[in-house]
Amino acid sequence: MNDDLRTWVLSYDVADDKRRTRLHRALQSRGQRVQFSVFEVLATGAELDALLAAITHPSRFDATTDSVRAWPLCERCQPSARVVGAGPPVSLPGRPLIL
């Protein structure tokens, strides 16, 4: 995995309230929440791998019912991102980003 710093969009769907709260708190300490279950995280590939390993720990995640997805958002694509409706703009180090 590439070790350049980049923006990642992470989303999750967790069935259990306790696990969902634990996963949410873990992501909140590392990224910016942009929707209820969607975060933007600035990380290298290695940092993302470590974060995914941490948030998919069995205390936060059940692979039979839950899911986590991560998409890279390239620097070239960031200016094309659009937001429709309410929601605060998100600013990550280096360049503002609105989703």
Residues 23-82: tens digit of each pLDDT: 999 999 899 898 899 999 999 999 999 999 999 999 889 999 999 999 998 877 777 777
1, part of any domain: no
85, part of any domain: yes
CATH number for position 87: 3.30.70.240
pLDDT at 91 over 70: no
38, part of any domain: yes
- What is the structure's pLDDT at 99? 40
Q: What is the pTM of this model?
A: 0.80
Number of domains observed in the structure of the chain: 1
Residue span of the structural domain in which 87 resides? 6-97
pLDDT at 94 over 60: no
- What is the structure's pLDDT at 46? 95
Q: Write phi, then psi, for 92 (nearest 5 degrees).
A: -110, 155
